[in-house]
Amino acid sequence: MFNIILFGPPGSGKGTQSEKIIAAYGLIHLSTGDILRREISAGTPLGLEAKSLMDKGILVPDEVVVGMISSALDNNPGAKGFLFDGFPRTEAQSIALDKLLAEKNTAIGVVLALDVSRDELLKRLLHRGLTSGRSDDTNETIISNRIVEYQTKTTVVANYYSKFDKVVQVKGEGTVDDIFNALSSEINKRLSN
């Protein structure tokens, strides 16, 4: 099994690159943002609780997302590996993920961290907000909140995995294909080891 965390701030291209990586490597895509948006669309109690936080650009509680990931891992017993997108986002989530993977005799192979400037993040998300219908893309204040949440709560995830020498920084600006090629090259290096 080969498991990847695709890491980076809001708008850095995690969702865009995840689609290409899962197609190329046959991994299961686990995006906590996508799962939460499905819960919101379905009008579940979990979705209602999450919506009020997501609309403000604030992270939902660790136990909620860890529970979702635990179920998703259990629901995909034959997976070749998982691509985690938007998870883990706190040190507590990182520790919980490592424990869940260890219970399945596997671990994170690599953390690919997309590096994108704040100006480019704002430009991409405001542009997507014109058409996406995502409530958290609609104005600069909410987008800024998301970036502050990332800086204050999520950058520690990269520090956590750096201790195990698992983090690789990849330039996240340029064409989607060039960025995918850079990510693939890092994945291939580790698969051949």
Please list, in sequence order, all residues whose beta carbon lies within 8 angstroms of the beta carbon of residue 71, skipping any fewer than 6 positions away. none
Question: 33: part of which helix (H) or strand (E)?
Answer: helix 32-42
Between 123 and 191, name the residue whose CB sits nearer to ligand AP5: 123
Does 60 interact with ligand AP5 (rule: CB under 6 A)?
A: yes
Q: SS3 of 107, please?
A: coil
Between 59 and 73, name the residue whose CB sits nearer to ligand AP5: 59
- Per the DSSP assignment, residues forming a β-bridge with 84 are 5, 30
Please say whether the beta carbons of 49 and 59 come within 8 A.
Answer: no
Cα separation, 189 vs 44, whole angstroms: 42
Stretch that binds ligand AP5, among 83-91, 94-102, 156-164, 184-192 (CB under 6 A): 83-91
Contact positions with ligand AP5 (CB under 6 A) in 85-104: 86-87, 89, 93
Enumerate the active-site residues: 14, 89, 128, 134, 146
Binding site for ligand AP5 (CB under 6 A): 8, 10-16, 32-33, 36, 53-54, 57-60, 65, 86-87, 89, 93, 124, 128, 136, 146, 176, 179
